[in-house]
A and B are shown apart, each in its own frame.
Chain A
Amino acid sequence: MALPGWRDPEKIIPISRSSTAVFKTGSWSGRRPEHREKTSPCRVACPAGNNIPAALLAAFQGDFDGALSAFLEENPLPGVCGSVCYHPCEKDCNRGRWDGSVHIRALERAAADHGHAVPSPLTDAGAKHPVAVLGSGPAGLSAAYHLARMGHPVNLVEHRKQLGGLLRYGIPLYRLPQAVLEKDLGRIRSLGIDIRTGERIGAKELENLRAESSALFIALGAQRSLSPEMPGMDLEGVLLGLDFLNKVRRSKLGEVPGRVVVIGGGNVAVDAARTACRLGAGKVELVCLEQRDDMPAHEGERGDALEEGILFHNGWGPKRVLGMQNRVVGIEFTKCTSVFDAQGRFSPSYEESTVLRLDADRVILAIGQAPDITPFKGTPLVEKGSVEADPVTLATSWDGVFSGGDFATGPRSVVEAIAAGKRAALSIHLYTRGLALQQGEEKVILGGGPAFSIHSFSHAREGWNPKSVVRFEDLEPLFLDQQPRPSLGRLTPTERIKGFQEVDLALNPHEAMQQGGRCFFCGTCTGCDRCFLFCPEVSLLPPDETHTGYRPDAEYCKGCAVCAAVCPRGVMTMGEGT
């Protein structure tokens, strides 16, 4: 029996079973959301230009192969950087303004430890242009690595027996374990670079190499320790910082008993002092011109040294080494009243009457290093007694010869050397094609530079503007949890000075996933679907086989900006257009 009209479910309320698709709401607005990946501030701060959010997203998902691949896109030495980098990335991390920055360095190390990935080639365009790289420190390795990835036959020449330069012969093992370095080097070797170790290069060899190659990159580091002119330098027991570290790394020096005084305020000085501590020195004192906060050594290293019992004497300059029977017994300092002159130039002034005298069985001088250019005198490389390289292109006045890293700039950090090598690689690659670096670099500069993405140079990413940086204000904190930055595991000072075991404990995969999850992934789409789910018009289309990103359906998107408002990481933003 038919229901009466007043009870018929199909009649008593308005029910529409037709589609609302007839309403083309897309014509209501002139603006559309844009799914555009942007650059994270950590990446801009990273001299190597590491794609940190992509790597950390993979680590968070437990994909350490993917994480390592992401690091290897820009950086040949993720294990090294994950161990020793002074991590400027963490300083600029947006999470720093929330509940503490992400442990990026430790995660880079975790990717290198737990990931299995090989470096990927970028292009084969360089195949006809062989390049010689001199020096296998971080700058040389980085240049060789990226040049090889761009197809260049690379000839890597190292005068020592093994690759690594300062990484192998300078940085102490408690900061960079041997196995970590070897793993990084193994990946670089896998690119088929022609490696020639134990070859000393003089002026003649340099000229020959230039003739054989389309270009040369010289990255021999700053190996020459500076030594002050003062009485007593020839006494037994006086050592130079780098030589000391070098001897220890090559096991030529097994113990350092007695009282050790290290002179210098930089990283080499701190390394030397901490190394002496580990070799049985009874007392280690570090003396430098600078006040504690002005020391060039990284803050963390200074703190570690203090914890390990090293005494700091800040604001003193060495005057003479005291000896007895040709052996060091002490050293005298005068008070340093200022390090720089009014123009900011290094020009220490002293108060001669105030003297500090320390007893010492050994004095280690680590007051600075400089490149050794003497072998190249007479070549076009050395002009007016020095080597000048353009700070952007790294080209020297000798056509086709480039120089970078500590050799060109004086001592800087490992990651800056890596960055210089990468810059040289792109610059040389473009040079061999008759272009200036600026012409190719422009579209891949990250934020305001100088870091750039070499991966994007050959693999342009659609819709990605590397100059557009996601600020903290661009994030949507409603979707961000509170998960304060934890302290990571370290050896106690007592445990540390027993030997050369690594001070920072590496993350296990579980910890790495947890720490990776703290990343906001600023500017990197994680596929969280919030824009898609919150779109009130169901007019934001998710990625599919032909589209990598989310995109508005122009027929229906009315430009309400809800998707942009709910994007936690600044990827979805409002643009103009229809």
Chain B
Amino acid sequence: MKKFITGNHAVAEAVRLCRTQLVAAYPITPQTPIYEKLSDWEAASELGGIMMRTESEHSAMAACLSASLAGARTFTATSSQGLALMHEMLHFASGCRAPVVMACVNRTLAAPWAFWSDQTDSLAQRDTGWIQIYCEDNQESLDSVIQAFRIAEKVLLPCMVVLEANFISHFMEPVEVPEQEWVDRFLPPVQIPKRFDVDNPAYIAAVVSQAQFEGFRRLSHEAMANALDVIEEVDRDFEVHFGRKYGLVEAVGLEGAELALVTTATITSTARVALARLREKGTRVGLVKIRVFRPFPTKLLRKILEPVPRVAVLERNLSLGREGIFCSELKAALVNSEKRHQVQGYLAGIGGTNVDPALIERVVLDALARERALDEPIWMTEERI
């Protein structure tokens, strides 16, 4: 059934359709409408699961983690400062191999205080051991949450579905909301290890030796590596059930391309329009959308980009003192390629500033004209404060 809804509303629809047993959350802009929508449904006895209103995001994650260890399907949503506060518990969730699913609505991290789209909050959680999926629009947000539960519960790692403030969270789009029956077929009832069993008492997350710690980290890393296959397998099955497919990475018009423009999330939608126009004019440029950031689809990217000499990475985040985080990740992925690539990073949309087709055209033209790539990222917004 098609509904004209916001991305937050779409996420909430997915959480309900997945028969989530526990939602523990704390309100924070711009995630709050997810929380509110789920609360509305709970009040109307339409949610099925339990809403737990915690006193902080840290506690929300602790609650999700505990419920997950008890065998329940759990969900939380947060943004920005809330995610930062949750940080310690993110490590706990992945370390305990608890398949918690979270929607992170990207928002600038203070200071200064702001409410706009910026990916640095979720990217700062890169090393917490969470699977991360970046969504381009409202439909993908809904679909990714449904996929996330199956992925997480299969590989026993937590999964973060990332959508951007305002552009997705608050903008309304037509969204296909699947029938419950089909979601049930795609996503079976939760079946994860129950760690709290009175008949088989155990102590978990105990103190371990150095060697044991390393051993557990290796197993988690293997799980992450194997998650790439699981994500693709789940995506294929999703297509069978719902007719939509996203992949780890999406490549558009790379045949014979001189330049690949690499994007993530909402900038991708604008880039599709800008690049179609450029290609009509004969510009040899293709598009690569990175959807899954952790685990990083290294091999797949290397394969896709193999024939393309020039790469431009345009992104809405920044690791201060280095560059855009996707750019660094991509450079690292390509460093062992047989063919050498010229990779240039571009920054736009930081703090939620607008990234329009004209700006994207300028990125493409700059990348094609550049003799050598700079180590520093290029700021595409011309005005300075």
Contacts and interface: CB of A to CB of B under 8 A. Distances in A.
A9 interface: yes
Interface in B207-237: 208, 212, 216, 219-220, 222-223, 226
Contacts of B203: 15-17, 20
Contact of A15 (B204, B219, B226): B204
A78 to B, nearest CB: 49
A5 B208 contact: no
Contact of A6 (B96, B200, B208, B223): B223
A456 B154 CA distance: 68
B193 to A, nearest CB: 4
Contact of B212 (A14, A17, A20): A14
Interface in A11-41: 11-17, 20
B223 A13 contact: no
A4 B219 CA distance: 10
B205 A6 contact: no
A6 B202 contact: no
Interface in A422-442: none
Q: How large is the interface on B (under 10, 10 to 19, 20 to 34, 35 or more residues)?
A: 20 to 34
A14 B205 contact: yes
A9 B202 contact: no
A12 B129 CA distance: 13
Most buried by A among B154, B195, B202, B220: B202
Nearest to A5: B219
B90 to A, nearest CB: 16
Nearest to A15: B202
Contacts of A15: 195, 202-204
B200 A17 contact: yes
A21 to B, nearest CB: 12
A23 to B, nearest CB: 11
A13 B220 CA distance: 9
B226 A12 contact: no
Contacts of A17: 200-203
B96 A13 contact: yes
A7 interface: yes
Interface residues of A, number: 13
Given A7-B156, A9-B156, A16 B219 contact: no
Interface in B154-185: 154-156
A236 to B, nearest CB: 84
B97 interface: yes
Contacts of B205: 13-14
Contacts of B212: 14
Contacts of A14: 204-206, 208, 212, 216
B377 interface: no
B247 interface: no
B357 interface: no
B156 A11 contact: no
Contacts of B154: 7
B297 interface: no
Nearest to A8: B219
B298 to A, nearest CB: 18
A6 B226 contact: yes
A6 B219 contact: yes
Contacts of A11: 219
A464 to B, nearest CB: 38
Contact of B97 (A4, A5, A13, A16): A13
Nearest to A7: B156
A12 B202 contact: no
A455 to B, nearest CB: 45
B131 to A, nearest CB: 14
A507 B364 CA distance: 92
A20 to B, nearest CB: 7
B95 interface: yes
Given A12-B156, A15-B203, A17-B201, A7 B208 contact: no
Most buried by A among B154, B212, B216: B216
A550 B206 CA distance: 30
Nearest to B221: A6
A13 B155 CA distance: 13
Interface in B185-201: 193, 195, 200-201
A12 B155 CA distance: 11
Contacts of B223: 6-7, 12
A17 B96 CA distance: 16
A13 B200 contact: no
B204 A13 contact: yes
B220 A12 contact: yes
A295 to B, nearest CB: 59
A6 B204 CA distance: 17
B204 to A, nearest CB: 5
B210 to A, nearest CB: 13
A5 B222 contact: yes
A16 B206 contact: yes
B222 A13 contact: no
Contacts of A13: 95-97, 195, 204-205, 216
B51 to A, nearest CB: 27
A202 B293 CA distance: 111
A12 B206 contact: no
A6 B202 CA distance: 20
A392 B216 CA distance: 77
Interface string B37-67: 0000000000000000000000000000000
Contacts of B201: 17
Contacts of A6: 155, 219-220, 222-223, 226
B294 to A, nearest CB: 15
A15 B206 CA distance: 7
A7 to B, nearest CB: 6
Contacts of A5: 219, 222
A12 B200 contact: no
Nearest to B69: A13
Most buried by A among B96, B204, B219: B219
B11 to A, nearest CB: 27
A16 B208 CA distance: 10
A286 to B, nearest CB: 64
A20 B202 CA distance: 10
A83 to B, nearest CB: 53
Contact of A7 (B95, B155, B202, B216): B155
A7 B206 CA distance: 19
B61 to A, nearest CB: 17
A12 B223 CA distance: 9
Contacts of A16: 202-204, 206
A12 B219 contact: yes
B326 to A, nearest CB: 26
Nearest to B203: A16
Contacts of B204: 13-16
A550 B201 CA distance: 26
Most buried by A among B156, B200, B201: B156
Interface string B270-293: 000000000000000000000000
A12 B97 contact: yes
A17 B212 CA distance: 16
Contacts of B155: 6-7
Contacts of B220: 6, 12
A4 B193 contact: no
A137 B244 CA distance: 99
Nearest to A16: B203
A12 B97 CA distance: 7
29 contacts: A4-B222, A4-B226, A5-B219, A6-B155, A6-B219, A6-B220, A6-B222, A6-B223, A7-B154, A7-B155, A7-B156, A9-B156, A9-B193, A11-B219, A12-B156, A12-B219, A13-B95, A13-B96, A13-B195, A14-B204, A14-B208, A14-B212, A14-B216, A15-B202, A15-B204, A17-B200, A17-B201, A17-B202, A20-B203
Given A13-B97, A15-B202, 16 more contacts: A4-B222, A4-B226, A6-B219, A6-B222, A7-B154, A7-B156, A11-B219, A12-B97, A12-B156, A13-B95, A13-B204, A16-B206, A17-B200, A17-B201, A17-B202, A17-B203
3 shortest interchain CB distances as A-B pairs = A9-B193, A6-B222, A6-B223
